[in-house]
Amino acid sequence: MNFMRLKEAARRVNERRAVRRTANVLLIGIVAVAGAWLGIAIGAHVSTTVGPAQIGMSLQPSWDGQTVVDVRPLGTLRFDSHHGPLRLSLSLDGIHADVAQQLLESPRWAETLPDLIEADLQAGLRELVIRAVVFAVIGGLVTGLIVFRKWRRALWTGLGSFTAVALVGLLSVMTFNPRSIAEPRYTGLLTGVPSLIGSAESIVSRFSEYRGQLAKLVTNVSQLYHAGTTLPVYSPDPNTLRVLHVSDIHLNPVAWNMIRSLKDQFKINLILDTGDIADHGTKAENKFVEEIGTLRVPYVYVRGNHDSIATQRAVARQKNAIVLDGAEKTVEGLRIYGVGDPRFTPDKTVDVKSDAQMLLDLGRAHAARLTPAGDDGKPAASKPSIEASPSPSSKLTNSTTNPAGSGTSGDSGGNKIPVDVVAVHDPTVGRAFGGASPLVLAGHVHERSTEMLPSGTRLMIQGSTGGAGLRGLEHDEPTPIQATVLYFDRTSRRLQAWDDVTLGGLGEQWVQIQRHVESEPGRTISPEPVPTSSPTGEGSGTESPFRR
């Protein structure tokens, strides 16, 4: 009996020791991680020469791993370069004018600069990593000594800190994404955007290698810093067509300021408006659209559900406006087909038939007349011209004919209309064009998004370029002001890249630019099967928020 009691007591002692041992290991681990975190925050900083620039590099603990380039006062560039609890920050501390002058005077500076920058960056990053490891270990030792007051446990915390840093470093290397430098997110002064992020043609073509991307980025940043107030402009590229996509202005005059600024800075060739330029479609609002005539570039417009036929005619009277309502028009070499919204719902008191099935049927009726430009193997110039004909949407609205300036449309002799872009207001209508065009642009929902349809058609939904007008104040946070710069290759007329531009809503002052690169600009566009609706309405598609 005594033996059993002794055995039970021994078991309980062993269990207590195991619990204490586990608790000690966990405590050492927590102290090690905290010490490493503190050490990196304090000591992981270096200043190194990168080409003609003096660059400050630092590692900071962060919940989301990314690389941040700080170019004050112009703004910041962020790259989703890796995953992990460490953020790499780079700041432009100065320019070595003598080195920059030597590089510019050298006939081979464009060839030598990428190698020079790559070597300098590697040297700086090596020094930064060494400092981070050393300070992490020191941080673990000091923290362990303070907490435990024993050298043995302090050594264990130092070893734990080294292990934690090694694991974080391994995670960062394994998740490193060199392509991220082609898709920066810019926040800061709008005037610095084009030179900071470079042209779409450079991103898509010349930036195929990581070191070339990095060299171009550092060069742009250096030039901006060195130039001061005389910022370098975005140099036009004859092979790139720049289209500004705007939508849902809703009578906000701030939208015209943004559109004009983007037009000038990004050298926009064409503006495409996917509707709701007005709020109630009244005659008094027609004066608002006269700003279109001052932009001095083609302004392609499709009617939204807040725009009346009178609004559409007022837009059509502007000398540079092109109104599309069941019509195709070639503008700056780009074949654009537009469909006006079949509804007119200026406010919630107006009750019209506007179910999702009706919108899908409207879109499919138009899509049946179209084919992606170039899919028949003929160049755009050799395709037959299309005579004008009534729009299918005319059966659903009070409009029975296309307005002046609406372009050409129809289906002459059974020939389908080749198009590069389709412009509609409601995304529900837009989804019906899957397989009919490489790109469909829409608005209406006041929230930006993009999706690739199964056919290979990309549907891009724009937010509100007017911050949804006064509706932007109905929520806790003001609706942001949004527009997108689209870059097309003039030869293939396919989308190559786009910049999403976002400004803070009413009462806020900030701007952000997000670069995206089209991964397969030359993809094949395939027709999509048309689902058959059941008598009960099943399979009729998703509901659409009609009263925007």
Highest mean pLDDT among 263-267, 405-409, 423-427: 423-427
pLDDT for the residue numbered 410: 45
122-138 residue pLDDT tens: 898 889 989 999 999 99
For residue 160, is pLDDT > 80?
Answer: yes
- Identify which has the larger pLDDT, 277 or 233: 277
Q: Which range among 68-72, 192-196, 413-417, 454-458 shows the weakest confidence by mean pLDDT? A: 192-196
Q: Which range among 15-29, 198-212, 259-273, 337-351 shows the weakest confidence by mean pLDDT? A: 198-212
Mean pLDDT in residue range 327-352: 86
Domain locations in the chain? 17-179, 240-517
- E runs forming strands in 239-378: 240-246, 270-273, 299-301, 321-323, 327-331, 334-338, 370-372
503-516 residue pLDDT tens: 876 555 567 888 88
- Report the 10 Å Cβ neighbour count for 226: 16
CA dist 178 and 171 (Å) reads 15
- 55 — alpha (psi -120 to 50), left (phi > 0) or beta? beta
Confidence of residue 397 (pLDDT cuts 50, 70, 90): very low
Range 240-517 has CATH code 2.40.50.140: no
Q: Using alpha carbons, select from 261, 258, 287 the residue that is nearest to residue 191.
A: 261
Task: Give exposure, 434-460, as e/b (b: 16+ Cβ within 10 Å).
Answer: bbbbbbbbbbbbbbbeeeebebbbbbb
For residue 256, is pLDDT > 60?
Answer: yes
